[in-house]
Amino acid sequence: MDAVTAAVCALEDEPLFNAGRGAVFTSEGRQEMDAAVMDGATRKAGAVAGILGPRNPILAARAVMDRTDHVLLIGPNALQVARDAGLSFEDETCFFTQQR
């Protein structure tokens, strides 16, 4: 699980992909991100949707899986789990790229 989330973090940090930095804008002109992770051995899963702030949304999804009884959290509840997990947050300028 650590290797998987580290690999996804590398993709989220690279603006060439539309994940994390370089995320696509919604029809309202905001960036919102989703992420999901699943452990095939235990069948535990975690996901977040409609969030902006955590530098690596995949780590927020993992926090949902590891720290809650839920599978999917959205918006403010997902952000609170990420804050409680001590994840790094960035302002919206970090995620903006001219290409997107």
Distance CA(50)–CA(71), nearest Å, equals 15
pLDDT digits (tens, 9 = 90+) for 33-86: 999 999 999 999 999 999 999 999 999 999 999 999 999 999 999 999 999 999
How is residue 58 written in tokens? 């995949």
Q: Are 59 and 73 in contact (CB under 8 A)?
A: no
pTM over 0.75: yes
Taking 90 as the threshold, does the pLDDT of residue 18 lie above it?
Answer: no
Taking 80 as the threshold, does the pLDDT of residue 100 lie above it?
Answer: no
